[in-house]
Structures are given as C-alpha cells and as structure tokens.
C-alpha cells in the first residue's frame, strides 16, 4: 500500500484500507500485529494460526487506514492506526502527512471524549493546514468541555453494516440450535434416474432444511476449477452492486469489495459440462440461466449481507433469481465463509465443492430467510463462480403456486 507505487489509484488504496478495517472489526484482530505484517486467526478447531504476510506497513499505510477508519467513525481503532503511523514516521514522510496524522489523532481523541489529549496533539501540528477543518475541531472541543462528556472505553461500532450475529458466524462459532443440527443429513443423491449423472456419485450435505441449503462435495474437478479461473482472470475488474436507484454504486465500498467478471457456458466445453451437471441436479433449464459471475476476493474482500433477488409483488416475475449456485474454486487460508445470518448457517469455502439454495417460496415470493453474506477473507484469496438462475424459462421445470408460502426442496 505504499504511496511510492504510482500505478495504484487512490480508489484502490481506499479499497485496501477499507478491506483491512473490515478484517479488524469482523475478526477482532490486533492492530499492532497487523501493522507488523502478522495476521492472527483461529481455525475451526480453536487453534491459533499466525500468518506472516511479510508486509509490515509503513507510516503512510497506517495513516491511510487510520484516515479511512475515521471516515467510518471507528475512533478507537483509528487512534490505534494513527499511533502506529506515528511510531513509523521516517525521513520520507512529508510534513503535510505528519501534520495530518496529528490532526486526525487529535480529532479521534475528541470523539473518544478526551479533549485535553486532543489539544496536546493539536499543538504538535500547528503550521500546516490540515485535512480536517480547524473550526470543526474547535467547536468539537467546546461541545466536549461544555457537556463534560466521557465515552472512553466504549468499543467501536463498526460501520461495516452487518447484522448482529454475523461476526460470530464469520469466526466459525456455532449458533444453530442442537435440535436443528441433529436433523441435518449427509447423503448420496440417487442419480440413476438422470442419464447425465448416472456414473457420478453426488455427495450432498444439508446445511439447513427449510429453506433447503445444501453443499455438494467434490462437485468440480481440478481442471474445471483451473479452467474457470484462467478464463476469467484476465478480464476481472472491481465489482459494484446496484444502489437503490438501480444504478451501480461505484463510490461505495461498503457493500462489496471484490473483483469479478462474467463467464459464459459456451466459452469452453468444460464450463458447459459444469452447467449441464447443475441442470441435472437442480432440474432447472440452464439454457436461460445467467453466465457465471466469477469473483476473486483478496485479503479484506467481502460481500455484505444481501438477497440475490428483489422481492416482487408479482409472483410470476420472470427476472427473479430462483436459485443461487456457488462453485467454490479455491480453498481460503482463513475467513471468507458464506453465512446466512437469519439461519445461523456458516459454510466454509472448500475447493471443488458447490453451495446452492432457493431464493423464492413456491409462491414465487422472496424467502427472506435467505439473507446471506460473504465474510472478509483473512488469509489468501477466495475464488467463486456464482450462477443465478432466473425464473424465466423454468415455467415447465418448476411451476409456481401463488398461494404456497413453503420453501422449495430440490433434493431429498
């Protein structure tokens, strides 16, 4: 993240800083270790893993993350990042950046409720015009002195807009009731009825009963994962999600931090074979399905909670995505689980496996239990290829019953 790499744009630096911030809040990471290039995380068995990314951050990196953390209103964490920046100040850090660091530190102290500390930092950078308006600082000091407010010791509430239990789910904690867990099964799909699958053994693991969420183990081969990645890698670009007005939200990093692109069935024979297998398992018409959305999340990359299809008042809405199918193309060193926050389901990405679920009730209306999220990647990269299958063209495959509020089941 050094400022000496001119090729990196401000937007990319902002993204990287935001990624680090989402890691800190999700996995409760120690900022000092992170600044020194170490990521401490726990495996599902509880063992501690320390990954040395071998990339200690410099003063400018820590300043940039601190600044972004201030924008996120996480003042305790921001203070820590800025303190790390101060510890790393060297001859190449410009006076302007130094002044800015102390001004942001001062601002954080105010927000934390320590105006005297704020004044101390303020005095350290009087000469240069700071990024933050001086007037704003003065009036903040006044407010704090007047109200004698103290909010120190309160933990930052992260701006990363996830629901309450998502942090625990992302960390791999078990939140699901034993009574639900005990009913979940692992089984082999009876494929003798489907000629295309006759010679294949499809191992299914239920993650939830209703709505039915399942993992298909060993769904992909090594050559299939390689083909999907190598065909997509040259053209992947920063992904954005649609805002409320339907336009892409290119300024917001808050909801998705990833790169991706589209991969069409017809681009390669192997890709087409994968689609035909998905069609055989789900019983859906793949001719009309969307291309694969191949996504690469790097460290800090995530996808905030969302539904894959909007709720429509029309139960026969043809563009609704009835099924989501996610192919996991890589293992992930740590983090990066797919979590269903209303069902307490955590799915760890495992190379070659696939995850799928129904987004709609039989009536065609959105099943609001399917709210889900891609947790931030902590170590390594996460590659997935998502296929959203729309209602259009499926009328004869999965007919609708407008009065049926039950979840659909694909496989028993």
* Residue 296 to residue 253: CA distance in whole angstroms: 15
What's the closest the beta carbon of residue 308 comes to Fe ion, in angstroms? 4
Question: Is position 219 an interface residue for ligand AKG (rule: CB under 6 A)?
Answer: no
The one among 172, 300, 374, 376 contacting ligand AKG by CB under 6 A: 374
What's the closest the beta carbon of residue 336 comes to ligand AKG, in angstroms? 7
Closer of 364 and 374 to ligand AKG (Cβ): 374
How many of the chain's residues bind ligand AKG (CB under 6 A)? 9
What's the closest the beta carbon of residue 308 comes to ligand AKG, in angstroms? 5
The one among 83, 103, 225, 338 contacting ligand AKG by CB under 6 A: 338
Task: Look up residue 411 and give its two tokens.
Answer: 């496989």
Binding partner of residue 112 among Fe ion, ligand AKG, none, CB under 5 to 8 Å per kind? Answer: none
Picking from 313, 312, 367, 319, the residue whose alpha carbon sits closest to that of residue 343 is 367
Picking from 386, 266, 279, the residue whose alpha carbon sits closest to that of residue 325 is 386
Residue 246 — φ and ψ, nearest 5°? 90, -10
Q: Which long-range contacts (CB under 8 A, 24 or more apart) does 113-122 make?
A: 113/144, 113/149, 113/150, 113/151, 113/152, 114/152, 115/141, 115/144, 115/145
Picking from 100, 109, 159, 157, the residue whose alpha carbon sits closest to that of residue 133 is 100
Question: Is position 324 an interface residue for ligand AKG (rule: CB under 6 A)?
Answer: yes
Question: Is position 84 an interface residue for Fe ion (rule: CB under 5 A)?
Answer: no
- In this structure, the chain runs to a length of 412
Contact letters for ligand AKG, residues 267-306 (x by CB under 6 A): ------------------------------------x---
Closer of 317 and 386 to ligand AKG (Cβ): 386
Picking from 77, 73, 100, the residue whose alpha carbon sits closest to that of residue 89 is 100
CA atoms within 13 A on the CB side of 340: 24
Site residues for Fe ion, 307-346, by CB under 5 A, read 308
Question: Is position 354 an interface residue for ligand AKG (rule: CB under 6 A)?
Answer: no
Closer of 110 and 366 to Fe ion (Cβ): 366
Question: DSSP secondary structure string, 109-154?
Answer: HHHHT-HHHHHHHHHT--SS--SS-HHHHHHHHHHHHHHT---TTP
Closer of 41 and 324 to ligand AKG (Cβ): 324
Dihedral sign, Cα of residue 175, residue 178, residue 183, residue 188: positive
Binding partner of residue 109 among Fe ion, ligand AKG, none, CB under 5 to 8 Å per kind? Answer: none
Question: Is position 386 an interface residue for ligand AKG (rule: CB under 6 A)?
Answer: yes
The one among 70, 384, 389, 400 contacting ligand AKG by CB under 6 A: 384
Binding partner of residue 332 among ligand AKG, Fe ion, none, CB under 5 to 8 Å per kind? Answer: none
Question: Is position 372 an interface residue for ligand AKG (rule: CB under 6 A)?
Answer: yes
Question: Which region holds residue 37: left if phi is over 0, alpha if psi is between -120 and 50, else beta?
Answer: left
What's the closest the beta carbon of residue 227 comes to ligand AKG, in angstroms? 19
Binding partner of residue 338 among Fe ion, ligand AKG, none, CB under 5 to 8 Å per kind? Answer: ligand AKG
Residues 6+ apart with CB under 8 A from 132: 103, 104, 107
What are the residues binding Fe ion (CB under 5 A)?
308
Residues that bind ligand AKG (CB under 6 A): 303, 308, 324, 326, 338, 372, 374, 384, 386
């Amino acid at each position: 993240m050094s400022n000496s790499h001119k090729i990196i744009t401000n937007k990319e630096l902002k993204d990287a800083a935001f990624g680090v911030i989402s890691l800190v809040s999700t996995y409760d990471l120690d900022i000092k270790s992170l600044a020194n290039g170490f990521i401490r995380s726990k495996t599902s068995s509880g063992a501690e893993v320390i990954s040395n990314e071998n990339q200690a951050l410099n003063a400018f990196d820590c300043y940039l993350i601190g600044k972004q953390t201030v924008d996120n209103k996480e003042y305790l964490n921001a203070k820590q990042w800025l303190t790390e920046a101060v510890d790393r100040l060297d001859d190449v850090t410009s006076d302007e950046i130094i002044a800015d660091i102390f001004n942001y530190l001062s601002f954080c102290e105010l927000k934390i409720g320590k105006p005297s500390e704020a004044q101390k930092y303020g005095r350290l950078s009087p000469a240069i015009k700071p990024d933050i308006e001086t007037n704003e600082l003065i009036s903040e000091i006044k407010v704090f002195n007047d109200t004698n407010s103290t909010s120190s010791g309160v933990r930052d509430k992260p701006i990363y807009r996830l629901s309450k239990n998502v942090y625990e789910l992302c960390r791999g904690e078990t939140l699901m009731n034993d009574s639900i867990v005990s009913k979940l099964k692992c089984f082999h799909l009876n494929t003798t009825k489907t000629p295309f699958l006759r010679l294949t053994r499809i191992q299914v693991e239920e993650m939830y009963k209703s709505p039915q969420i399942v993992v298909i183990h060993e769904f992909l081969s090594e050559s299939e994962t390689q083909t999907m990645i190598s065909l997509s890698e040259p053209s992947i670009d920063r992904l954005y999600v649609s805002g409320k007005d339907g336009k892409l939200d290119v300024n917001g990093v808050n909801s998705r931090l990833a790169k991706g692109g589209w991969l069409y069935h017809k681009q390669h024979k192997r890709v087409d074979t994968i689609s035909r297998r998905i069609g055989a398992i789900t019983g859906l018409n793949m001719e009309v399905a969307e291309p694969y959305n191949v996504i690469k999340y790097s460290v800090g990359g995530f996808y905030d909670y969302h539904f894959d299809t909007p709720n429509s008042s029309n139960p026969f809405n043809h563009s609704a995505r009835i099924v989501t199918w996610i192919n996991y193309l890589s293992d992930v060193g740590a983090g990066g689980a797919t979590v269903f926050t209303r069902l307490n389901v955590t799915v760890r990405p495992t190379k070659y496996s696939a995850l799928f679920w129904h987004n709609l009730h039989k009536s065609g209306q959105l099943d609001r239990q399917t709210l889900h999220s891609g947790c931030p990647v902590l170590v390594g990269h996460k590659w997935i290829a998502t296929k959203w299958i729309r209602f259009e063209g499926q009328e004869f495959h999965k007919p609708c019953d407008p009065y049926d509020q039950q979840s659909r089941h694909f496989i028993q």
